[in-house]
Amino acid sequence: MPKNGRLRRSDRRTASLAATIAAMNNAASSSPNILDAAQACSAAGGIESAVGATARTRFDVASRRLDGERIRSRLSGACRGWEIEVVETTGSTNLDLLARLRENVACTPTVRAAMNQTAGRGQRGRVWQSQPGDSLMFSLAYVMSGGPADLAGLSLATGVAVIEGLSDLPLSAPQALGLKWPNDVLLRGGKLAGILIETVPAGPGRIGIVIGIGLNLRHADDVAARIDSAAVSAASAPSAAGASSPSASPIPAVPATPPAALESVFPEPDMSTVLVALVQRLTAMLDRFATQGFASFREDWEAMHAYGGASIRIIEHGRDILHGVALGVDGRGCLRVATPQGERAIASGEVSVRLLDPAPGVQEARR
């Protein structure tokens, strides 16, 4: 080394190249694709960029995985007393936790997330369309005092917590998030997430709750294609009563809300980071709901109402039963609708809500 302690330019280049080659050799031992990346980058005159490309690839792979250790570490403060479970594959996280509550109603509050659910479900028994790494799917089990009547508005409060959790992330357009009554989270009018709540008795004066969340992280177009394929299969399948019979009257299909994906406002979403943000808000919501009910969430829900002031159609069993203007919700979480005959309150159940005139300006009112 020269007396002044500095490397000559040529020495620095040699040292840099040696370090780069060493890093590539180390990476190649665990990732064969590094050789292809190095050849491509070398041909373009940039060997060092191969290492960067590999690092980006590894980050992309990691962002599509659930890191149980990191998740538990980051939730250890906000979720004291909660069991955090991360599994590779299961049938349904909701069914897993329902079975656990039936076995032991005194079980610890639990979050259970899975990379892959082979029997994931949405509302009314629909299959949740997902691919590992492209969707985040998890459930929470919680026991609170009261009965079914005390859970009025819980799905709406859950939607508020989901939007609050997503808004804690560095989204490019958090104002594009909205809620569609009673249990959908929208992004620019498309369905970003769905909520499924199921219950079991938990002894006198207590009820066990399982909340399932499915959220699209990436590839909304692929989700749309799977939904269309499932709809075609369902329409072509004969019913138990014989759908091919001339007297059969098939139920008209309800147009699906087009899917949306978080990546449009949060590029390269990391599954573990998104899960932590949501769980922090959801566990706090459950504690608050257990003592205050829906009343403490009503104002927030109405501020997030994507269809507020819009003309809507209420659909039951595939047929329109009511047209009107969405006003908001009442203290029980029922949808308030203005009609020519006066205001109506719609309870959740076998009904769906769609915009009567899905103009872009209405769908994206929260953009």
Per-residue pLDDT reduced to its tens digit, 321-354: 999 999 999 999 999 999 999 999 999 778 999 9
Mean pLDDT of 240-259: 58
Q: What is the per-residue pLDDT across 285-314, written as a single tens digit (0 to 9) for each?
A: 999 999 999 999 999 999 999 999 999 999
The stretch 239-244 carries a mean pLDDT of: 44
Structure tokens at 313: 């159609």
Q: How far apart are CA 161 and CA 157, in angstroms?
A: 6
3-state secondary structure of 183: coil
pLDDT for 185 beyond 70: yes
Query: Cα–Cα distance between 152 and 142 in angstroms, integer?
Result: 16
Residues 91 and 94: their CA atoms lie apart, in Å, by 9
Q: Answer yes or no: are the C-beta atoms of 248 and 242 closer than 8 Å.
A: yes
Q: Are 71 and 79 in contact (CB under 8 A)?
A: no
**Whether the Cβ atoms of residue 141 and residue 109 lie closer than 8 Å to each other:** yes
Nearest to 199 by CA among 186, 208, 191: 208
107: nearest Cα among 86, 87, 85, 88:
85
If one compares 226 and 202, the residue with the highest pLDDT of the two is: 202
8 A C-beta contact, residue 276 and residue 75: yes
Q: Assign residue 153 a region (left: φ > 0; alpha: ψ between -120 and 50; beta: otherwise).
A: left
Rounded to whole angstroms, the Cα distance separating 212 from 97 reads: 10
Distance between CA 191 and CA 202 in Å, rounded? 33
C-alpha span between 350 and 337 (Å, rounded): 17
Look-up of token digits 């959790």: 165
- Give domain limits for the chain: 62-232+256-304, 310-355
Q: Please identify, in words, the CATH class of the domain defined by 310-355.
A: mainly beta
Q: How far is CA 304 from the centre of its chain?
A: 17
- Quick one: pLDDT band at residue 38, thresholds 50, 70, 90? very low
Is residue 241 scored above 50 in pLDDT? no
User: Within a 13 Å sphere around the CA of 262, how many CA atoms are in the beta-carbon half?
Assistant: 26
Place of tokens 């009965």: 147
Reduced to 3 DSSP states, what percent helix, strand and coil does the chain have, rounded to the nearest 5?
40, 25, 35
Helices and strands in the chain: count of H runs, count of E runs = 10, 12
What fold does the segment set 62-232+256-304 form as a domain? BirA Bifunctional Protein; domain 2 (3.30.930)
Calculate what percentage of the chain has a pLDDT beyond 70. 69
Identify the DSSP state of 187.
E
Strand 206-216 to strand 135-145: parallel, antiparallel, or no bridges (unpaired)? antiparallel
If you search the block for the tokens 């980006």, which residue do you land on? 56
Q: In the predicted model, what is the mean pLDDT of the chain?
A: 81
Half-sphere exposure at residue 96, Cβ-oriented, CA atoms within 13 angstroms: 22
Contacts of 54 (CB under 8 A, 6+ apart): 24, 27, 31, 33, 34, 37
pLDDT digits (tens, 9 = 90+) for 98-155: 999 999 988 899 999 999 999 866 555 555 556 778 999 999 999 999 999 999 999 9
